[in-house]
Amino acid sequence: MSVYWNRRARGLSPYVPGEQPRDRKLIKLNTNEHPYPPSPKVAEAITAVLAEGAERLRRYPDPACTELREAVARRYGVGPEQVFAGNGSDEILAFVFGAFFEGAPEPSAASAKPDAEPVLFPDITYSFYPVYAKLWDIPFCAVPLAEDFYLHAEDYCVPSCGVILPNPNAPTGRALAVRELLPLLSYQLENRRIVVIDEAYAAFGAESLIPCVNEYPNLLTVHTLSKSASLAGLRVGFAIGNENLIEGLCRIRDSFNSYTVDRLAQAGAAAALSDTAYYDGVNRQVAATRDRVSAALTGMGFIVIPSAANFIFVRSPDMAGADFFARLRERGILVRHFNKPRIADFLRISIGTGGEMDALLEECKELI
C-alpha cells in the first residue's frame, strides 16, 4: 500500500474481471461474451459516422445520448425521458449505488441514526455489488440464497435502504418470474425504497420487468448490450425507470463526467437496438445451445443449475472446482472459477458456438 492512498483506497477490494488471454489460443468461455458477431447494422452505423470526417470526432458527443435513448425507447415502448445511457451497465450500477442507497451516517452528526439501513443483495451474485457498496461507504446485507441457489424474493421484504437483484442471477443463472417479484416491489414502494433489477442476461430466457416501470415508480431496470447484443467491446448500457430515477442517475453522472458514451458507441448501439430480428435469432440459438449442453452434462453426471442466461453453473461429480478449472485450461478451454464459500466447487461456463461447446463436452467426457 502507498502512503499516499486515502482511507477509501486502502479499504477497497476491487472487482477482478475475467481473464483476457493474449499469449495462447484458447476456447474462451469465461466472460459471458456473445459467441456470434453483432448485427451488420452496427458496423454500418459506425462507418457512416467515420465517413463524415474527422470533424465529427473533433467535437464532443451528445451528453444526453439522445439518439441512443430514443432507440431504447422505441425498442421497449417507454419514453426517452425514462431512459438513461451509460458506458456499460457497470458504470450505471456504480451510479445507482451513489444515487439511491444511503451511505453510513457521519459519526459526528448528532441527529444521525446510530445504524444506517443496509442495501440488500444475494450472498451469491455479481461480485461488483459489494465492491460498489464499499466504494460509496454503504452498509450492505448479503441475503443467503437457498441451498439450491434459488432466490426467494420475500427474503428482501425487510427494512433496508434499497434492494438490487440480478434476474437472471449471476453466476448461478437462475431467474425469477415477474409475478414472484411484484410483492417485493409493492413492499419497498410502501417503504419508499428503490428496487433495482439488473437484467444483464434477461434476453436469454428471463421475463423482463420493463413493462412494470410505469406502475412502480421505485423500479429501475439495468441493461447491457455486452451480452445480448454482442457489443462487449463497445461498452454501452442503459437503465429504464421513472423519470425521477433517471434524473438521479444524471445528477451522479454529471458530477463525474458528462460525456460517458462516445460518438461511435452511441451510433453503433442505436443501430443494434433497431435490429430486433437479428438478435432474437442469435439469442435463441445461444439459449438452445445452453439447453443442449446442460442436458448432455447432466447425462454425464455433472450437476448443472437450471439457467436462463448465456452461461451455465456446473459442478463436476468427482473433482474439486479448482482442479476442474485447471484441467479444462490445460486442454485449451478457459472458464470461470470463483473460489468463494458455497460455490468453490462450481464453474461458470459461458455458452459459445455449437462447435466450441461440442469441444467442451468431449473434454468433460474424458475428464470423468
Distance CA 321, CA 267 (A): 42
- Which of 238, 239, 196 is closest to 218 using CA atoms? 196
Length, in residues, of the chain: 368
Task: Please state which architecture CATH assigns to domain 40-274.
Answer: 3-Layer(aba) Sandwich (3.40)
Which residue stretches of the chain have pLDDT < 50? 109-112
What burial class does residue 206 get, using C-beta atoms within 10 Å of its C-beta: 0-12 exposed, 13-18 middle, 19+ buried? buried
Residue 154's Cα: distance from chain center in Å? 22
Q: What's 19-37+277-367's CATH class?
A: alpha beta
pLDDT of residue 13: 85
**φ, ψ of residue 294 in degrees (nearest 5):** -60, -45
Domain boundary assignment for the chain: 19-37+277-367, 40-274
DSSP state of 214: T
Work out whether the CA dihedral 93, 250, 162, 78 comes out positive or negative. Answer: negative
Average pLDDT value over all residues in the chain: 94
**φ, ψ of residue 324 in degrees (nearest 5):** -60, -45
- Which of 201, 169, 221, 262 is closest to 33 using CA atoms? 201
pLDDT digits (tens, 9 = 90+) for 75-111: 999 999 999 999 999 999 999 999 999 876 655 544 4
Distance CA 144, CA 151 (A): 8
